[in-house]
Amino acid sequence: MCGITGYIGDNESASVLSAGLKNLEYRGYDSAGIALIGDDVTVHKQEGTIDGLTIPSNADATHGIGHTRWSTHGEPTDANAHPHTDCSGDVAVVHNGILANYHELKEELNGHIFESETDTEVIPHLIEEAIADGADLRAAVMRALDRLEGSFAIAATHADYEGIVAARQDSPLVIGHGDEGMYLGSDVTAFVEYTRQVSFLEDGDVAHLYDDDIEIFNDGERVTREVQTVDWDASAAGKAGHDHYMHKEIHEQPTALRQAISGRVDDLAGNASLNIDLDDGFLQTIDEIHIAACGTSYHAGLYAKELIEPLVDISVRVDLASEYEVYDGHNTQDTLVVAVTQSGETADTLSAIRRAKASGMTTFAVTNTVGSTITREVDDSLFIKAGPEIGVAATKTFVSQVTALALFATYLGRLRGTISADEGADILEDIRQLPSAVQAILDEEAQIRRLAAQYSDSKAFFFIGRGLAQPVALESALKLKEISYAHAEGFAAGELKHGPLALVTENTPVLAFLNQSAAPEETRNNVKEVESRGAPVIGLATDGADESFCKHTIDIPELGRLEPLVANVALQLFAYHVANEMGRPIDKPRNLAKSVTVG
């Protein structure tokens, strides 16, 4: 969960690498560094964000590698920042992932000088040993790789050898093919301003980048990887005038939703046209769906369960991916396992999918990231088409995930005959209304900002909802806590009186979803229970409904099953403005990173 970048070509390496690191900063931002290779290797690295890193221009450098870190082994310090070098200072290496056997390797490398507490540092010393035995850079990297256990992506250079040698094992690496050189990145955002021609490395690949060519090897054989054109442009990776990526991405939601829906609605048939490869016969006969996901994607999975079960008349189990287990005796033949993951690289989700596959189950991914590891491992994927999401807090990808899953629910319901064409058309009509309903919420930002300012110094925040709104209550609490560090919790509205009510005081605002789709009377009663304990209530209420017993209301356009999803957008804005009032680093919350590639 760090960011790797590399460049070899005609442009000034230092500026290409700094731009790449800036774009990759969401993957980790506790330290950053660059190695520039000319006649010798110069390393510039330090604790802190890339903004604090001074990189002198170096016209002699022909290529270089860079890294932005989210620490696992060793605290964020200058010494632990990457790149790491060997004893001679000629080899430089950046690394993403974890080496399981680094203790053992470090002991073996007795006599070498280690300057950091990282697991990474064994790699340049292993390369150094192989070079001392007569290997060239590529052969030395291959020899070092033979010794490494764990998941990783690395890039290595040497002062005396041409090019950059990169390798992946369970951690993403993408090559950019530009007119003015070859680029390397943990993802496409690292170099999308220079080229959109990319190839994705696969596990076991070792790539040797030259300024106008690339050679890729796997298991000792020369291989080729398809060069694809990505449809992201450079502006998609910038802030476009917003103070934070999160704010930009919240406002991009109407567009992201249109992309998710476009071409996927078949009005005549009252069906979603998803173009998926999963066999219709299989989908007709499955008797259970498992969803495995983490964090916000898990909440999208919970929302999907509430959509799918009544529409498709099938049982849906939703598990946190890190907890997902397949028990002996489970009917694996008739189960579809769905991974929901924005990045497609989350280690816990990947390992859940691997467990499902090992048990013989059919697997499916709902993801934002074309070419991601999950897409190569599952039987089929559905892309949410939200575009790049840089802010660590997931926003547009949550609504796009739920939307893609709502389309999938419609498709399954029509396929299995549990909903009619008319019912399908009604759901699709709600889906089609989503972008404008979300826009209506965005247009109310000033009211939401005022509420956020009024309550930003509260002791804690509680979010309550029922049915489809319950996952949104969990998601809204997660959003607020991760970017503001305030204590925030989401509950099923009916659960409050079974314990959490003890926490409710006049200093704990309660944000209540009063959607009409799930027992609104009962939720109103729950709201009255907290009001009578003095808590200020902000009700998210269907537009036109009289909820005057709430201290404040935010009107949500009426949208059936999707209304809580729209209400979620109001609370994304609430979380954003509370965090902004508190002066938090919204796009880079402490201790977090966008893509969690360690288990």
- Give the one residue of 296, 526, 542, 580 binding ligand F6R; rule: CB under 6 A: 296
Judged by CB under 6 A, the number of residues near ligand F6R is: 15
Query: Per CB under 6 A, does 170 bind ligand F6R?
Result: no
Give the shortest CB-275-to-ligand F6R separation in angstroms.
Answer: 22
Which lies closer to ligand F6R via its Cβ, residue 121 or residue 187? 187
Q: Is 594 a catalytic residue?
A: yes
Q: Where are the beta strands (DSSP E) in 24-163?
A: 31-37, 41-47, 63-69, 84-85, 91-99, 150-158
Which lies closer to ligand F6R via its Cβ, residue 129 or residue 348? 348
Q: Taking the chain, what is the end-to-end CA distance rounded to the nearest angstrom?
A: 11
- Give the one residue of 308, 316, 393, 496 binding ligand F6R; rule: CB under 6 A: 393
Query: Per CB under 6 A, does 394 bind ligand F6R?
Result: yes
Query: Per CB under 6 A, does 400 bind ligand F6R?
Result: no
Burial per residue of 461-474, b for 16 or more beta-carbon CB atoms within 10 angstroms, e otherwise: bbbbbbbbbbbbbb
Q: How far is CA 277 from CA 230, 274, 401, in A?
A: 22, 9, 19
Give the shortest CB-390-to-ligand F6R separation in angstroms.
Answer: 11
| Residue 120, token pair as written in the block | 């990474």
Query: Is the link from the previous residue into 500 a cis peptide, with omega within 30 of 0?
Result: no
| Residue 75 φ then ψ, to 5° | -65, 165
Q: Which stretch binds ligand F6R (CB under 6 A): 290-298, 325-333, 421-429, 498-506?
A: 290-298
Which lies closer to ligand F6R via its Cβ, residue 349 or residue 508? 349
Query: Per CB under 6 A, does 598 bind ligand F6R?
Result: no
Which residue is it, tokens 């998609």? 236
User: Could you tell me if 160 and 39 are in contact, meaning their C-beta atoms sit under 8 angstroms apart?
Assistant: no
Query: Per CB under 6 A, does 515 bind ligand F6R?
Result: no
Which lies closer to ligand F6R via its Cβ, residue 118 or residue 296? 296
Q: Which stretch binds ligand F6R (CB under 6 A): 114-122, 294-302, 407-415, 540-548?
A: 294-302
Would strands 315-320 and 288-293 be described as parallel, antiparallel, or unpaired?
parallel
Give the shortest CB-147-to-ligand F6R separation in angstroms.
Answer: 30
Query: Per CB under 6 A, does 189 bind ligand F6R?
Result: no
* Contact set for ligand F6R, span 476-495 (CB under 6 A): 478, 482
Would strands 41-47 and 31-37 be described as parallel, antiparallel, or unpaired?
antiparallel
Neighbouring CB atoms inside 10 A of 90's CB total 20
Which lies closer to ligand F6R via its Cβ, residue 81 or residue 339? 339
Which lies closer to ligand F6R via its Cβ, residue 223 or residue 582? 582
Query: Per CB under 6 A, does 295 bind ligand F6R?
Result: yes
Query: Per CB under 6 A, does 68 bind ligand F6R?
Result: no
Per residue, the 3-state secondary structure of 430-459, as one string, reads HHHHHHHHHHHHHCCHHHHHHHHHHHCCCC
Kindly name the residue from 22, 45, 385, 594 that is annotated as catalytic.
594
Query: Per CB under 6 A, does 579 bind ligand F6R?
Result: no
Q: Is the dihedral of CA 249, 254, 255, 256 positive or negative?
A: positive
Give the shortest CB-272-to-ligand F6R separation in angstroms.
Answer: 22
Which lies closer to ligand F6R via its Cβ, residue 1 or residue 452? 1
How far is the C-alpha of 156 from the C-alpha of 165, rounded, in Å? 5
Which lies closer to ligand F6R via its Cβ, residue 424 or residue 465? 465
Query: Per CB under 6 A, does 381 bind ligand F6R?
Result: no
Q: How far is CA 233 from CA 139, 197, 369, in A?
A: 36, 11, 15
Which residue is it, tokens 């036109």? 544
Kindly name the residue from 2, 45, 396, 481 that is annotated as catalytic.
2
Contact flags string 343-362 toward ligand F6R, x per CB under 6 A: x--x--x-------------
How far is the C-alpha of 551 from the C-alpha of 518, rounded, in Å? 21
Give the shortest CB-7-to-ligand F6R separation in angstroms.
Answer: 26
- Give the one residue of 17, 164, 486, 596 binding ligand F6R; rule: CB under 6 A: 596
Torsion region of 28: left, alpha or beta (phi above 0 gives left; psi -120 to 50 gives alpha) = left
- Give the one residue of 137, 184, 192, 294 binding ligand F6R; rule: CB under 6 A: 294
* Contact set for ligand F6R, span 324-343 (CB under 6 A): 341-343
Question: Which residues are bridge partners to 94 per DSSP?
Answer: 155
Q: Is 385 a catalytic residue?
A: no
How far is the C-alpha of 519 from the C-alpha of 498, rounded, in Å? 18
How far is the C-alpha of 130 from the C-alpha of 140, rounded, in Å? 5
* Contact set for ligand F6R, span 24-63 (CB under 6 A): none
Catalytic residue list:
2, 594
User: For binding to ligand F6R (CB under 6 A), which residues are involved?
Assistant: 294-297, 341-343, 346, 349, 393-394, 478, 482, 595-596
